[in-house]
Amino acid sequence: MARLGFVGLGVMGSRMVKRLLDAGHSVTGYNRTRSKAQWLVDAGMSPASTPRAVAEAADVTFTMVTNTDALRSVMDGADGLLAGMGVGKVHLDMSTVSPAFSRELAKRVEAKGAAMLDTPVSGSVVTLEEGKLTLMVGGDAAVFERVRPILLDIGPKATYVGGNGLAVSMKIATNLSLAVQMLAFSEGVLLAQKSGIERDVAVDVLVNSVIGSPMVKYRGPFVLQMPDEAWFNCGMMQKDMNLALEMGRQLGVPLPTTAATNEFLTAAEAMGLGEQDFAVVFDVLAHLAGVKR
């Protein structure tokens, strides 16, 4: 069992901590809004007042925050995580951020005598709670082997993809497909509905058809009833889509369906739907089709 730290106890991060606690690890955690993490404290997590305190208490520290700026804010400064890193420690960043920034941060961590891996995940709240979440890992292969047993306490598969920054690149490539699939699914539902088929019947047929990817199966029903709490809201998805479009320009890869889907996320924000799960692109398309939710 390892001494672990976790910074960023949101929808996904908090549930990961619960899995790590259930696996027998000791976990010290930090969240900007401490009250939201009280249930984890009740479950055995030790609370910390700063990211630095988390890193000092742990051998392996995870971060899972919303974007590049948020990661920079928890890493830097006198109370930042980087200040608590030392020789032999490991930083595992699960955030979806700029690959260039991830590589830069890895060098800064290395300068402290520690090591950093980018370890984003593929899946949702449902796949995490079912124990089916998968992980991608970028960085030193030997460090990956050291921490692999810990990662497998979060999900059943951790795939090494190469050097620092490559796992987060893989995550961005994965996430763009989620939004594109959701928009295509919405098109199919609305076409069926306007032809005279009940929406719930169309959803049932599509999620159980050949297009029923794991994402479509768990998120497709959101076109019937949105969750009370967004699993991954429009702003977070659009951040990833913009990272993908930036990578596409840098690497010379055209991303036409990504660009089109990104505009529907922009429209969702303009319609005041930005805090809802990105499946709300259905509502944007439905509005254009003259269909009420």
Do 108 and 127 belong together in one domain? yes
More confident site: 126 or 62:
62
Mean pLDDT of 101-130: 93
Do 245 and 148 belong together in one domain? no
Do 159 and 195 belong together in one domain? no
Query: CATH code at 230?
Result: 1.10.1040.10
Non-local CB neighbours of 113 within 8 Å, separated by 6+ positions: 85, 86, 87, 88, 89
pLDDT digits (tens, 9 = 90+) for 47-90: 999 999 999 999 999 999 989 999 999 999 999 999 999 999 99
Predicted confidence at residue 113, as pLDDT, reads 97
pLDDT greater than 80 at residue 187: yes
pLDDT greater than 80 at residue 291: yes
Predicted confidence at residue 39, as pLDDT, reads 95
Do 176 and 151 belong together in one domain? no
Q: Which domain holds residue 155?
A: 3-163
Mean pLDDT of 222-232: 92
pLDDT digits (tens, 9 = 90+) for 127-163: 888 888 999 999 999 999 999 999 999 999 999 999 9
Non-local CB neighbours of 81 within 8 Å, separated by 6+ positions: 7, 51, 52, 54, 55, 61, 63, 74, 75, 91
Question: What global pTM score does this model have?
Answer: 0.89
Predicted confidence at residue 225, as pLDDT, reads 95
Predicted confidence at residue 36, as pLDDT, reads 85
Of the three residues 117, 137, 163, the one that is the final residue of a domain is: 163
Do 118 and 183 belong together in one domain? no
pLDDT greater than 80 at residue 229: yes
Query: CATH code at 112?
Result: 3.40.50.720
Do 7 and 149 belong together in one domain? yes
pLDDT category at 293 given cuts 50, 70, 90 is confident
Share of the chain above pLDDT 70, in %: 100
Residue holding tokens 């259930």?
22
pLDDT digits (tens, 9 = 90+) for 248-259: 999 999 999 999
Catalytic residues: 171
